[in-house]
Structure 1
Amino acid sequence: MTEYIVKILESFYVTHDVKCFIVEKPTGYDFIPGQGTEVSINTSEWKNQMRPFTFTSLREQHHLEFIIKIYRDHNGVTNMLGKTNAGAELILHDVFGAIQYKGKGVFIAGGSGITPFISIFRDLYKKKELHGNKLIYSNKTSEDVIMDFELKNMLKEDYVKLYTRQNVIGFVSRRIDRNYLIENIIDFNQHFYVCGTSDFVKSITGYLIDLGVTSNSLVIED
């Protein structure tokens, strides 16, 4: 497995527990929007502790960007990343990932599951090909929404937010279940992109298949 040591150029929080890292891009390193790599921190204690994260930058940019949810409740990799700033080094590995754009459809994300979609949306927006795609984005509260302003700017009326633990005027406060999909999606003969926790993906894909979506139309991480 190839290793690429890169320096963190910038790091900053985009929500109370989600942090953005802008890092050097190795020469010749490329990816398809939606893909990611395993990342570790280049210190003796952490360099062998690899975790998968998705690229959120555009592939033609001269740097790489990761948007990472920080879990402070245990002494893991993301907790350490929360304390890691510009000047430190990360180790990147080979690119992988099954999530990539197959055509217009509905993107369904739970929490930090939005991250593989960000690069896809940015790429399509730059190409003026984003219109006609819809995002349904579920979070616990409004404070948990990642890149809210940019998503709204790119997707406009095709951006739908749901909150599972908060009532906010003008927004839906409910979970994405079978009834919600029936009420809010007219055409199930299109692509569906789903990303979130394993339980989230399992339940949403189960509902979609039950409603007639074929496995070939589902785009999820293997």
Structure 2
Amino acid sequence: MGHKLAISKIENVTHDVRQFTFEKPDGFEFTPGQAAEVGIDRDGWRDAGHPFTFTSLPDWDQLQFTIKIYPEHDGLTEQIGTLKEGDSFIVGDPWGTIEYKGKGTFIAGGAGVTPFIAILRMLRDRGELSGHRLIFANKTEADIILRNEFDAMPGLEVIHVLSKEDKDGFEHGRIDKQMLQRLVGSTLEKFYVCGPDEMVESINGALKEMGADPDGLVFEE
């Protein structure tokens, strides 16, 4: 049985991404990078079981999800897009295979950045961001989730990649082996990869070809 949690705050992050904040139940514990199976308190959707990553930190008084809304899809994210403050999520127990394992590069595609939000916030609060890199791929500049927050993180190298716009200050195209060789340099570090399945598979393959330790690749399995 999941926890029924009322939404206390909804904020727009981009044109199609919203941040949902709600009260954390007593004793609820998770680690940065973990997700939970989520439904909403509506008939037919309480057991929807879609995974979303916590973007809050474990020591916060609230829980938070940052969710991309797909109004054209006939599914849970379309329903979530119609929620208002006071409506409720049904949140299961935390799980997940993405966790922080040491200094390295985070590579994300679109909403795939969400497991990294809490990890990077944790490192920021500890003053341990120096030596980390975020390579963040999106279609357009308007699609970049929490851009201002990432760009302001002290010590974090942020590289934005746009596939559908060619603009000054941004990498253009898709993240492939050639781009990684140019941006990463040494592969003697951890690599955290999250995004569409095809992207994750392609990037992991390129990193292995470049000499990255397969055991140093962290992704949702």
Change (3 A) 1:155 1:197: farther
> Distance in 2 between the 1:77 and 1:157 partners?
34
What is the Cα deviation at residue 155 of structure 1? 4.8
- Shift, 1:12, TM fit: 2.0
Distance in 2, Cα, partners of 1:208 & 1:186: 11
- Are the equivalent residues in 1 in contact too, given 2:129–2:155 (CA < 8 A)? no
Alignment of 1:19-168 (within 5 A): 19-155=18-154, 158-168=157-167
Gaps spanning 5+ residues in structure 2: where?
none
Aligned to 2:198: 199
Q: Residues 60-110 of structure 1: CA distance to partner in whole angstroms, max 9, x if unpaired?
A: 001001000111112210011011011001100011001011010010000
Query: Could you tell me how far apart the structure 1 residues matched to 2:150 and 2:169 are?
Result: 17
Q: Distance in 1 between matches of 2:58 and 2:42?
A: 27
Determine the C-alpha separation between the residues in 2 that align with 1:169 and 1:181: 19
Q: Given the two structures, how large is their TM-score scaled by the length of structure 1?
A: 0.97
How do 1:170-181 and structure 2 match up within 5 A? 170-181=169-180
Aligned length: 221
Alpha-carbon distance in 2 for matches of 1:45, 1:104: 43
Instruction: Output the CA distance in 2 between the equivalents of 1:185 and 1:62.
Output: 37
Identity of aligned pairs, percent? 41
- Which structure 1 residue ranges, 4+ long, deviate > 2 Å from structure 2? none
Give yes or no for contact 1:134–1:155 (8 Å, CA) kept in 2: no
C-alpha distance in structure 2 between counterparts of 1:3 and 1:73, whole Å: 27
CA contact (8 A) 2:4 2:91 kept: yes
Match status 1:14 vs 2:18: no
Q: Structure 1: which amino acid aligns with 2:168? A: I
Q: Distance in 1 between matches of 2:73 and 2:194?
A: 24
The two structures have a TM-score, normalised by structure 2, of 0.97
Deviations along 1:20-42, whole A, 9 cap, x unmatched?
Answer: 10011111111110011011001
TM-superposed CA distance for 1:17, in Å, is 0.6
3-state SS in 1 of match to 2:153: helix
The amino acid that maps onto 1:212 is: G
Structure 1: which 5+ residue stretches go unaligned? Answer: none
